[in-house]
Structure 1
Amino acid sequence: MRRNWAARLRSVILDGLRAVVLENERLRVTVVPGKGGDVVEFLHKPTDTDFVWLSPQGLRDPAHHLQGAADDVAQFVDHYEGGWQEVFPNGGAPCEYRGARLAQHGEVAGLPWDCEITADSEEEVAVRLSVRTRRLPYLVEKTFRLRAGTAALETEGRVTNESDVELHAMWGQHIVYGRPFLRPGARIRLPDGVTVIPHDTAINPLGRRVKAGGPWTWPVVPADGGGETDLSVVPERGAPSDIVYLTGFAEGWYEIAGEVGLRVEWDAEVLPYLWMWQEVGASAGYPWWGRAYTVGLEPFAGMPTDGLERAVANGTALTLGPRETRTLTMRVEVLA
């Protein structure tokens, strides 16, 4: 029987794509198996706060995009609706790995996933998503679980090397925040002892927030052009775009809060880096056109955002032996 109380599930069509809604008394979470298993809604019902950033272009079905010049960046960016993506086995820029050409954040974020219900009771609901990559021999699985009465979403991820050879991968949780939740002055809190590694070069020709070099100590770091910048404070609209990599997590967690907050916990032994991406209106060209105000706080295995080939070369990529499975647990909880 379809419930409208306690923990419950709904199947919906969202902008032409199949989606599933996990809901209880406090949260509503919408997942799109038809496009990468993306989380496109993380709504705290008591305060009517949706934490995810929704891009101006909205949700688009990649299968319907037939026009425009083909390139390995547009495959992800032209269909990027914001929210939360699973990134595997390539993080960041297109690259080539052992003869396989991998697109921006490829492969699983652009593929349709299978979906099955694994729990459906008043006490808890859960769905399991799964997909096989096309160019590398991986099976990727992810279970979303919501228990009655809580303001926390739990996930359990698994990646399996289905070949008889050792392989590498970058594995990331591309979680981005936006308005109305994200506002100038919102605070980001991390464990003690975290260090900041700036990206090699500026991602925007207008400059960057953090001075190149480092590593620096979180949160107050040297600013590009002199002085200091406090990375724990979300900047005003128009501040320079930037990306840095945070590491040294004894425990994997962060909190981001304004009037209401969110705590994200993950296994830092599996994903030892946190990518911090800031696009707050400074980029006037493709693909943002000055319309983006978002901060991404993205747990990752591998860095920088130059693709798997670079992560293998610098020793930060995830290694999976023949037939090996790696698992990842996460918990995302509203602080209100």
Structure 2
Amino acid sequence: MRRNWAARLRPITLYGMRAIELENELLRVTVLCDKGGDVVEFLYKPTDTDFVWLSPQGLRDPREHLRGAADDVGQFIDHYEGGWQEIFPNGGAPSVYRGARLAQHGEVSGLPWECEVSADTPERVSVRLSVRTRRMPYRVERTFTLVSGSAALEIEGRVTNESGVELHAMWGHHLVYGRPFLKAGHRIRVPDGVVVVPHHSAIEPGGRRVAEGGPWEWPSVPAHGGGTTDLSIVQEPGSPSDVMYLTGFSEGWYEISGDIGMRVEWDASVLPYLWLWQEFGASAGYPWWGRAYVLGLEPFSSMPTDGLASAVANGTALTLGPHETKVSSMRAEVLV
């Protein structure tokens, strides 16, 4: 039912693609049905603060990829508008799994999803998106729920192995933050006992923020080149690019805040890692060209960002038995 008050839904078309807005008195959340079920807006209305980073290249329809030089990396990067993506069944770099060639962060982040309304009342709105992967026999569902008067978006994810054989996967939420919300000096909080595992090598030739080695206790860790660095403090523009993995969560949550903030909670029994990706303008080549100021805080089932084959080899890949379904919930709430 159409209404312009309390909790409400509005189907829209965004750059030629199907999308749906979930809105209440405090939030407006826009979900892109035709591209990965991406969250491309998470707007806190009282302060006009959008927590979703938008890439300088803007929103591009992945159905137009044949007009560019698409490859296993470009398929994701060339159509990456920022936003928040569901990542499944491959995380990070292209990988080959049992004969299936999986692209960067593939497959579901680039596919169109089916969308149906599951609740539409002034008290509560909910939409369920679903998609089947094309190179592996999986079905993935995402249900977004917004309650009247609440500054929190609730997401339930379900992944189902539709085959009769045991399979592996990487499952994650590619949540990134940027301007105008993100500023140097913002603080990141996680539960006590979390440890940091640096990526095995620098992701850019100009160096990195954290020294190789570990694991180390959060937040003060050895810095690349000597000394220490406090990972709980967001760095200035131009700081070195890096990727690291946080684990040891007794509870799955983090907070990032300055004048306003965000708290994300998730099921750490299914997604025991939090990927921390820092790209603050130090990368002068493809694909950022020095234009990105973005921080990723991404709950994941596995590590590292080298693709599914690496996660299988190190024992962190998610395992789904024949016809098994795994469920994971997440909640993103504005802090004021």
TM-score of the aligned structures, taking structure 1 as reference length = 0.99
What residue in structure 2 maps to residue 183 of structure 1? Answer: 183
What residue in structure 1 maps to residue 55 of structure 2? Answer: 55
What residue in structure 1 maps to residue 142 of structure 2? Answer: 142
What residue in structure 2 maps to residue 43 of structure 1? Answer: 43
What residue in structure 2 maps to residue 281 of structure 1? Answer: 281
Q: Tell me the amino acid that sits aligned with residue 107 of structure 2.
A: E
- Alpha-carbon displacement from aligned partner over 1:306-330 (angstroms, at most 9, x marks no partner): 0000000000000000000000011
Q: Hey, what's the Cα distance between the residues in 1 that align with 2:2 and 2:165?
A: 46
How far the C-alpha of 1:71 sits from its partner, in A, is 1.5
| Structure 2 alignment gaps of length 5 or more | none
How far the C-alpha of 1:65 sits from its partner, in A, is 2.4
- Alpha-carbon displacement from aligned partner over 1:258-313 (angstroms, at most 9, x marks no partner): 11010000000000000000000000000000000000000001100000000000
What residue in structure 2 maps to residue 253 of structure 1? Answer: 253
Q: Hey, what's the Cα distance between the residues in 1 that align with 2:69 and 2:20?
A: 32
Percent of matched pairs sharing the same residue:
76
Alignment partner of 2:66: what SS?
Answer: coil
What residue in structure 2 maps to residue 120 of structure 1? Answer: 120
Q: Tell me the amino acid that sits aligned with residue 323 of structure 1.
A: H
Alignment partner of 1:65: what SS?
Answer: helix
Q: Hey, what's the Cα distance between the residues in 2 that align with 1:70 and 1:274?
A: 29
Alignment partner of 2:310: what SS?
Answer: helix
- Alpha-carbon displacement from aligned partner over 1:83-138 (angstroms, at most 9, x marks no partner): 10000000000010000000000000000000000000000000000000000000
| Structure 1 alignment gaps of length 5 or more | none
How far the C-alpha of 1:67 sits from its partner, in A, is 2.7
How far the C-alpha of 1:69 sits from its partner, in A, is 2.8
Question: What's the C-alpha RMSD, in Å, of the aligned pairs?
Answer: 0.6
Q: Hey, what's the Cα distance between the residues in 1 that align with 2:149 and 2:62?
A: 36
Q: Hey, what's the Cα distance between the residues in 2 that align with 1:317 and 1:18?
A: 32
Alignment partner of 1:284: what SS?
Answer: coil
- How do residues 134-173 of structure 1 correspond to structure 2 at under 5 angstroms? 134-173=134-173
What residue in structure 2 maps to residue 268 of structure 1? Answer: 268
What is the aligned length?
336
What residue in structure 2 maps to residue 80 of structure 1? Answer: 80
What residue in structure 1 maps to residue 10 of structure 2? Answer: 10
What residue in structure 1 maps to residue 317 of structure 2? Answer: 317
Q: Tell me the amino acid that sits aligned with residue 255 of structure 2.
A: E
What residue in structure 2 maps to residue 203 of structure 1? Answer: 203
Alignment pair present for 1:33 and 2:33: yes
Contact 2:119 2:127 in 1 (8 A): yes
How far the C-alpha of 1:66 sits from its partner, in A, is 1.9
Contact 2:131 2:140 in 1 (8 A): yes
Q: Hey, what's the Cα distance between the residues in 2 that align with 1:270 and 1:69?
A: 36
TM-score of the aligned structures, taking structure 2 as reference length = 0.99
Contact 2:65 2:75 in 1 (8 A): no
